């Protein structure tokens, strides 16, 4: 639907699985896409840094680390509402949080970003700011605090 609506503004790139796995999910997709297959960490980071949106349509996401990584790179994540993404994702501020079973609503939320570049840029900046809170020093400090309570 997005590709039909926005045509050349949309480039769909899939990663994380092979072509056969994609076909097993839904058969042949009715839109053009590029499948990069399984990527190394640095390749994921490179792809996200070149992207405006990262779409994770999982039914449940334990934490959503790739979504957080996308924020750090200025790429707005669209994340499932079920799971642990609420630890960092704030709907409409630094991410779009959706019921992944509701495709129409997800489509509508993505269209709002395409139709309002100021909102897109604002959310990208907010995501980068959020990502700065998740660094090695803060992670180490949280471990020290936890160990100190034992």
Give residue-wise pLDDT tens across range 15-26: 999 988 888 876
> So what's the pLDDT on residue 29?
67
Distances (CA, A) of 108 to 47, 133, 137, 148: 24, 30, 38, 47
In a domain? residue 132:
yes
Q: Is the model's pLDDT at 127 over the cut of 90? A: yes
- The one-character DSSP state at 86 is G
In a domain? residue 102:
yes
In a domain? residue 87:
yes
Q: Tell me: the pLDDT tens digits for 27-53?
A: 666 778 899 999 999 999 999 999 999
Please classify residue 94 by burial: count the beta carbons closer than 10 Å to its beta carbon, then call 0-12 exposed, 13-18 middle and 19+ buried: buried
Whole-model pTM: value is 0.87
**Mean pLDDT value across the chain:** 92
The CATH number of the domain holding residue 48 is 3.40.50.2000
> So what's the pLDDT on residue 30?
76
Place of tokens 């709002």: 112
In a domain? residue 65:
yes
In a domain? residue 49:
yes
In a domain? residue 50:
yes
In a domain? residue 139:
yes
Q: Count the domains in the chain.
A: 1
In a domain? residue 14:
no
The parent domain of residue 67 ranges over 39-148
Under the banding of pLDDT at 50, 70 and 90, the label for residue 3 is confident
13 or 147, greater pLDDT: 13
């Amino acid at each position: 639907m997005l590709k039909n609506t926005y045509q050349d503004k949309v480039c769909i790139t899939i990663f994380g699985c092979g072509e056969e796995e994609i076909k097993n999910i839904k058969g042949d997709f009715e839109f053009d896409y590029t499948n990069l297959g399984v990527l190394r960490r640095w390749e994921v980071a490179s792809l996200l840094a070149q992207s405006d949106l990262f779409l994770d349509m999982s039914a449940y996401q334990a934490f959503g680390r790739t979504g957080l990584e996308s924020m750090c790179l200025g790429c707005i994540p669209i994340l499932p509402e079920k799971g642990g993404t609420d630890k960092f994702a704030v709907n409409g501020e630094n991410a779009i949080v959706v019921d992944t079973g509701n495709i129409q609503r997800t489509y509508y939320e993505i269209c709002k970003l395409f139709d309002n570049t100021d909102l897109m840029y604002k959310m990208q900046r907010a995501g980068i700011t959020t990502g700065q809170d998740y660094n090695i020093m803060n992670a180490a400090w949280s471990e020290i605090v936890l160990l100190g309570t034992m």
